[in-house]
Amino acid sequence: MLKQLQLHIQSGEPLLAIETPDEERASEIVRDAATSLKRMLYEWSVTTGLVGTLPVAIETSVKSGKAATALEFILNNTVPGELFLLKDLGPHTKEPYVQRQLRDLCAKRQATVILLEGGPLPDHVRRLSVLLELKLPESDQLEQLVRNVFREVRGRSIHEVTSNLTKRDLEHLVQTLRGLTRAQAQRVVHAAIIDDNALTGDDLPRAVEAKRNLLQTAGCLETINVDLQVSDIGGLDNLKRWLARRRDGMTSRAREYGLDPPRGILLLGVQGCGKSLCAKIVAEDWNMPLLRLDPGVLYQKFVGETENRLRQALAQAETMAPVVLWIDEIEKAFASAAAESADGGLSQRMFGTLLSWMQDHRSPIFMVATANNISALPPELMRKGRFDEVFFVDLPNLAARQQIFSIHLRRRNRDPLKFALDQLAKAAEGFSGAEIEQAVNSSMYSAFAGEVEVDDEHILTEIRDTRPLSVLMADRVRQLRAWAKDRCVPAD
């Protein structure tokens, strides 16, 4: 960005704008440009007033207060070629007088005014200015940041500060820090070191959690807390192997080998069989934050606003990358794109926006989309290049049901070895993972009410009293299996 800024200053552009949350880094770049071009630089904020900062500090008559006073000074006391960095001017531009001053500045073209904003500028100001993009720190910059923070903490700590990060751990840490500003990344690394006076591979989950907290979002994207491990999901062995082979697919080592980053998977299956859990498992196993795109909040009443919200959500995901982007029950958001609908073509436009982004984006984003009825979706969604693979998640087989019973008993502080897992698994034929969990939970309530310890008979009773989805909706399950037979890869 430095060269671009220098070019615009030398070209005599009167009004430039930088929209970024990383104010400190943007200010440094402006100061570097002023120094290299040998220009006088003034800086203004509503709290400090207008102060000359380069090449020497100079006080002005403009003290803290309204922006109009600072703009009046610039209009009336400017030497050609001087630079003025104005911070957070956007809210002040609602005043007609300030708007007129900015237009006069652009017409006069004597000085270069640089607006530094933490958020989007009002449209009437954006039209007057040249927007400059300050990208978030790249991987090499973040790696150097980690080293600098470690040296800084070690230099001033009264305790011994150590590090045994492997090259792979360092790369994972750098990937986790992507999407943060420099100041945010420094705080995350600093906290990880201070916690135990060491920087190790054990700090990676802490860094992921810190990033998730820093990037808490509202609206269409929601950060999801993941407290599961791969061992917490039974069955799906084929899917687990597929994911394990691609665990390091977003590293520089994979790129040097010639591999493209994995793009994502589409999971079709019977309800309650663990499709949503898979998104959480990927995020946990790959040490990446999990973002959930809620299609239900995309749709707005004003024309064009719905598509805009989708574009904003996808752009936000790119900013926060590397992440796992989870779209749950995708067919409910885009199903009408496959046929004539009464929404005036909105679903088709939304679907087209999503497809274009899936095809063209180059950010390290792994998408996990789930669907219960994929036949309602347009066939373009399943084309290779958009998703790496389409998996079918069927009802768990006998071995998987044994694992699921074991997982849920252990989660409730019961020893699975004290239960006849093979007998329970046989009795629960046709049950989904969610139905098995509910049978275990209900059996414990029955035992608790009777003030006895839960045993096999309690669970078998709950199984006998349950009508699973595979029975209640047998025709639909058969149709789903028939559709997926030659179109999807079995997850188990």
What pLDDT, on a 0 to 100 scale, did the predictor assign at position 305?
67
Question: Nearest CA to 333 among 315, 317, 309?
Answer: 309
pTM of the model: 0.73
Residues 199, 291, single domain; the answer is no
The answer to whether position 108 is within a domain reads: yes
The answer to whether position 486 is within a domain reads: no
Residues 233, 194, single domain; the answer is no
3-state secondary structure of 455: coil
What pLDDT, on a 0 to 100 scale, did the predictor assign at position 277?
87
CA–CA dist 150, 114 (Å, integer): 34
Q: What is the extent of the structural domain holding 349?
A: 223-393
The answer to whether position 118 is within a domain reads: yes
Residue with structure tokens 């100041």?
183
- CATH number for the domain including 98? 3.40.50.300
Count of domains for the chain: 4
3-state secondary structure of 217: coil
What pLDDT, on a 0 to 100 scale, did the predictor assign at position 301?
54
Residue 366's pLDDT band (cuts 50, 70, 90) = very high
Look at residue 384 and tell me whether its pLDDT is greater than 80. Answer: no
What pLDDT, on a 0 to 100 scale, did the predictor assign at position 212?
73
CA–CA dist 358, 386 (Å, integer): 6
Look at residue 379 and tell me whether its pLDDT is greater than 80. Answer: no
Residues 116, 234, single domain; the answer is no
Is the four-CA dihedral 212, 217, 221, 226 of positive or negative sign? positive
Question: Nearest CA to 157 among 109, 104, 194?
Answer: 194
CA–CA dist 264, 271 (Å, integer): 20
Token pair belonging to 16: 């430039």
- Beta strands per DSSP E along 99-149: 112-117, 130-132
Mean pLDDT of the chain: 87
Task: Name the DSSP letter for residue 197.
Answer: T
Cα–Cα distances in Å, from 166 out to 129, 171, 257, 347?
A: 46, 9, 19, 47
Three-point CA angle 62, 67, 70, nearest 5°? 35
Contact assessment for residue 75 and residue 32, using Cβ atoms and an 8 Å cutoff: no
The answer to whether position 36 is within a domain reads: yes
CA–CA dist 134, 148 (Å, integer): 22
CA–CA dist 293, 221 (Å, integer): 5
Is 88 exposed, middle or buried (CB count within 10 Å of its CB: 0-12, 13-18, 19+)? middle
Q: What pLDDT digit, counting tens, does each position of 9-36 carry?
A: 999 999 999 998 889 999 999 999 999 9
Question: What percentage of the chain reaches a pLDDT higher than 90?
Answer: 47
3-state secondary structure of 222: strand
- CATH number for the domain including 161? 1.10.8
Q: What pLDDT digit, counting tens, does each position of 206-245 carry?
A: 888 787 777 665 456 787 877 788 888 888 899 999 999 9
Question: What percentage of the chain reaches a pLDDT higher than 70?
Answer: 93
Mean per-residue pLDDT, 389-408? 93
Domain boundary (338, 371, 393) is at: 393
Q: Which amino acid is at 58?
A: I
Residues 120, 166, single domain; the answer is no
CA–CA dist 126, 16 (Å, integer): 9
The answer to whether position 478 is within a domain reads: no
Q: What pLDDT digit, counting tens, does each position of 138-172 carry?
A: 888 999 999 999 999 999 988 899 998 888 888 88
Residues 388, 403, single domain; the answer is no
Residues 168, 186, single domain; the answer is yes
CA–CA dist 88, 343 (Å, integer): 40
Domain boundary (77, 101, 132) is at: 132
Beta bridge partners of 43: 51, 85
Question: Nearest CA to 391 among 245, 271, 492?
Answer: 492
Residues 187, 228, single domain; the answer is no
Residues 231, 287, single domain; the answer is yes
Residues 183, 289, single domain; the answer is no
Question: Nearest CA to 246 among 265, 262, 266?
Answer: 262
Task: Name the DSSP letter for residue 198.
Answer: E
Residues 34, 100, single domain; the answer is yes
Domain boundary (186, 214, 242) is at: 214
H or E stretch covering 449:
helix 433-449
Residues 388, 404, single domain; the answer is no
Residues 257, 382, single domain; the answer is yes
Mean per-residue pLDDT, 378-392? 80
The answer to whether position 107 is within a domain reads: yes
3-state secondary structure of 95: coil
Look at residue 254 and tell me whether its pLDDT is greater than 80. Answer: yes
The answer to whether position 311 is within a domain reads: yes
The answer to whether position 482 is within a domain reads: no
